[in-house]
Structure 1
Amino acid sequence: MKPAVTPFQRIPDDELSWLGTDPVPAKPYYDPAYFELERRAVFLKSWIHVGHVCELAEPGSFVRRDLEFARASLLIVRGRDGQVRAFHNVCPHRGTRLVDEAAGRQAKFSCPYHMWTFGTDGALLSAPDFEAFRLDKKDCALREVALQECGGMLFVNFDPDAAPLRAWLGSYAERLEQMPVAQATTFAEYTYEIAANWKLTYDNFQENYHLRFIHPRSGGAGIGGDNQFGYPASMGFEGPHRTQRIWANPEPDLKPFQRAATMRGIPALAEQGLLDLPYGRDYLAFFPNLFVIGTPTQPFSHTVYPISADRSRGVVRVYWVGEDRDASQRFAREYSLAQIRDIHCEDIAMIERGQSGLSSGALDHIHFQSMEALCRHLFNEVDRRVQEQACETGEVA
Structure 2
Amino acid sequence: MKDQESQVADIGSLIAAQKAGYALAQPFYLSDAIFAQDVDRVFYQEWQLAGHVSEIPDAGDYILFEMMRESVIVVRGDDGKVRALANVCRHRGSRVCIEPRGNTKRFTCPYHAWAFNLDGSLFNARMLGQDHDRSKLGLKSVAVEVFHGLIYVSLSDAPASFDHLRVDLDPVLAPFGLARTRIAHRESYPVQANWKLLVENYNECYHCTAAHPEFARSHATHMAAERVAPLNEQMLARSKAAGVPTDFVDCIGSLRPTGSPDYAYNRYSLFDGYFTGSEDGAPLAPLLGDITAYDSGASDVYVGILNPMLIYCDHALIYRFVPVDKDTSIQEIIWLVHEDAQEGRDYDLTRLKWLWDVTTIADKQIIEKNQAGVNSRFYEPGPFVEMEAYTQRFIAAYLATLTTN
**Counterpart check, 1:370 vs 2:367:** no
> Aligned residue for 2:198?
201
Which residue of structure 2 lines up, in the alignment, with residue 263 of structure 1?
Answer: 283
Matched, 1:140 2:162: no
For residue 375 of structure 1, give the secondary structure of its aligned residue in structure 2. Answer: helix
Structure 2: how far apart are the matches of 1:353 and 1:136?
56
- Aligned-pair CA distance for 1:22: 4.3
Separation in 1, partners of 2:343, 2:45: 44
Verify the 8 A CA contact 2:183 2:337 in the aligned structure 1: yes
The higher relative CO (CA closer than 8 Å, separation ≥ 6) is in 1
Task: Confirm or deny: 8 A CA contact 2:214 2:355 kept in the other structure.
Answer: no
Rounded to whole Å, the distance in 1 between the matches of 2:227 and 2:109 is: 53
Distance 1:217 1:313, change over 3 A: closer
Counterpart for residue 317 of structure 1: 334
TM-score, length-scaled by structure 2: 0.79
Unaligned runs of 5+ in 2: 1-18, 233-246, 257-261
Q: Distance in 2 between matches of 1:126 and 1:327?
A: 46
Identity %: 22
CA contact (8 A) 1:212 1:223 kept: no
1:167–1:24 CA distance, 2 compared to 1 (3 A): same
Q: Is the aligned partner of 1:241 residue 2:257? A: no
In 2, Cα distance between equivalents of 1:125 and 1:28:
46
Q: Is the Cα contact below 8 Å between 2:116 and 2:122 reproduced in 1?
A: yes
The 1:310–1:153 alpha-carbon spacing in structure 2 relative to 1, beyond 3 Å, is same
Tell me the C-alpha RMSD between the 2 structures: 3.3
Task: Give the corresponding residue for 1:13.
Answer: none
The amino acid across from 1:248 in the alignment is L
Q: Secondary structure at the match of 1:373?
A: helix
Deviation at 1:289?
A: 0.6
Matched, 1:129 2:127: yes
Aligned to 1:66: 66
Q: C-alpha distance in 2, partners of 1:361/1:285?
A: 35
Please name the residue that 1:51 is paired with: 51
Task: Please list the CA deviations of residues 103-159 of structure 1 after superposition, one character each: whole Å capped at 9, or x if unmatched.
Answer: 11111111111111111111111122122x731221110111111111111111222
Are 2:275 and 2:294, in contact at CA under 8 Å, matched by a contact in 1? no
Report the AA paired with residue 193 of structure 2.
Answer: A
In structure 1, stretches of 5+ residues that fail to align are 1-18, 390-397
Give the aligned partner of residue 376 of structure 2: 360
Verify: 1:220 aligned to 2:240, yes or no: no
3-state SS of 2:51 partner = strand
Conservation of the 8 A alpha-carbon contact between 2:214 and 2:279: no
1:302 equivalent in structure 2: 319
For the pair 1:293 / 2:315, whether they are aligned, the reply is no
Distance 1:33 1:141, change over 3 A: same
* Cα deviation, residue 47, structure 1: 1.8
1:83 aligns with 2:101: no
Cα drift, residue 89 of structure 1 = 0.8
Name the CA shift for 1:351/1:249 in 2 (closer, same or farther; >3 Å).
same
Residue 335 (1) aligns with residue 351 (2)? yes
**How many Å separate the matches in 2 of 1:237 and 1:52?**
25
Alpha-carbon separation, structure 1, partners of 2:139 and 2:65: 16
Partner of 2:179: 182
Measure how far apart 1:78 and its partner are.
0.6
Aligned residue for 1:8?
A: none
Residue 394 (structure 1) aligns with: none
Q: Quick one: distance in 2 between partners of 1:321 and 1:78?
A: 21
Provide closer, same or farther for how the CA distance between residues 108 and 236 of structure 1 changes in structure 2, counting only shifts above 3 A: closer
Shift of 1:287: 2.5
Q: Which one-letter code corresponds to 1:50 in the other structure?
A: A
Asked if the contact 1:90/1:97 (under 8 Å) is kept, the reply is yes
Go from structure 1 to structure 2 and tell me whether the alpha carbon gap of 1:379 and 1:279 turns closer, same or farther (over 3 Å shift).
Answer: farther
Q: Residues of 2 paired with 1:259 and 1:278: CA distance?
A: 16
